[in-house]
Structure 1
């Protein structure tokens, strides 16, 4: 196990540490107003790739949350990220290469 420490650039009090949140289809979550919601319901929204091909159908609450966070985990275990082309384009993520999703420039997110 590799021992890690927080880089010195984070020792200043003005820096806030953040984390990545991956919403999961079917789980409890919160909307943008802090209201508790469940990411389930009637599957009326299609997650589509850049070619318009359907990846999955999900509930509106799930779709909205995946758009807001930029990533999400389907009940099937498939992870999706927003793709290039706006907030209505998604892409499947290879979880062997990027188990925590993709960040900027399609780089795999790595927990510190």
Structure 2
């Protein structure tokens, strides 16, 4: 009986740990965005599918899709913004030009894996 009770307690604790909540959802610069103000970057080995992306100022959802290889992204000057692998994040951006860089060492062309986000 004690073994059964101990087993149930372990399963319950594991269940609570798995349902712990959404990490990063309350980050300062990241909020829910209008789905129409979304950009999707497709990353292949050493390049993104576009040299430049366009978005409106305000909440912008940035999505990363890895087509070939494993990549992540950061946006220069945007504190705490990073996507590792496939995923998306929403960030509030002022008008301007932002440099997006691959953040995961992906091989000899990694340093050249850069694109621009123009926010108007």
Q: TM-score, normalised by structure 2?
A: 0.25
Larger Rg: 2
